[in-house]
Structure 1
Amino acid sequence: MTVRPSPGDLLIIDGRASVQFAGDRALTFRVVSVSDQPTYHGWIWLTGYVLNRRGEATTKSEIYVQLAGLRPAHSTPGPRLPRATRPNASPNDQGDGSAVRVGAGLRAPADAR
């Protein structure tokens, strides 16, 4: 990515962008702002958030990186939401009304007399 990043961009920051992010120190970074401060040719200051594997912001950072080493990241999944459950559903309920509570006094239709 030799195009100047914009706020909202999701980037992979690794050893290509700067040696300080080589190997296991690579990170996924959500850009918040891009500095207009003069730097060496081909380098840039970025402010943003380091994201964990679940796409959650963990740290706000200002980093100094080479434009030529920046790569767009694929979207990370957002935080997982809990599954919706029905409050009175039994573990065997498939949502079609066919579940039978064996020990709760309910009987299968064939046993009803």
Structure 2
Amino acid sequence: MTVQMTAGDVVLLTTDASVQFLRPICVRIIRELPERITYDGWVWIEGYELNAAGDARARRELYVRREGVRLVRSHPPATPMRPTTGRPERRTPSRVG
């Protein structure tokens, strides 16, 4: 199954994606780099390599086989902003200096 990657998706890269991933890594996608010429079925991606806690560890540009990319978590849709209700909050003047 071919994965369409969008910004915010978390993917698992193993040797199915490229031989360079003998040790699998998780990556949060920033974007695909369509301007780069590749072989059929391969793609350049830009993303953040994640540590075990899910925190960004390093920004990377990776060349991967699209069919080998495994989607771990899809980026959730943006939540609409909540409309404000009532009057604006009153602030008292503060003294500076």
Name the TM-score, length of structure 2 as normaliser. 0.70
Identical aligned residues as a percent: 40
Corresponding residue SS for 1:12: strand
Give the match for residue 72 of structure 2. Answer: 73
More strand by share: 2
Q: What is the count of residue pairs matched by the alignment? A: 73
What is the distance in 2 between the residues matched to 1:18 and 1:38?
17
What is the distance in 1 between the residues matched to 2:13 and 2:59?
14
What is the distance in 2 between the residues matched to 1:3 and 1:59?
23
What is the distance in 1 between the residues matched to 2:17 and 2:43?
10
**Which consecutive residues of structure 1, in runs of 5 or more, have no partner in the other structure?**
76-113
Higher RCO structure (Cα 8 Å, ≥6 apart): 2
Give the match for residue 42 of structure 1. Answer: 41
**Which consecutive residues of structure 2, in runs of 5 or more, have no partner in the other structure?**
75-97
Give the match for residue 50 of structure 2. Answer: 51
More helix by share: 1
What is the distance in 2 between the residues matched to 1:10 and 1:74?
5
Structure 2 CA distance for partners of 1:38 and 1:4, relative to 1, 3 Å: farther
In angstroms, what is the RMSD of aligned CA positions? Answer: 1.4
Corresponding residue SS for 2:43: strand
Large movers: runs of 4+ above 2 Å? none
Aligned partner letter, 1:70: V
Give the match for residue 25 of structure 2. Answer: 27
Shift of 1:74: 4.5
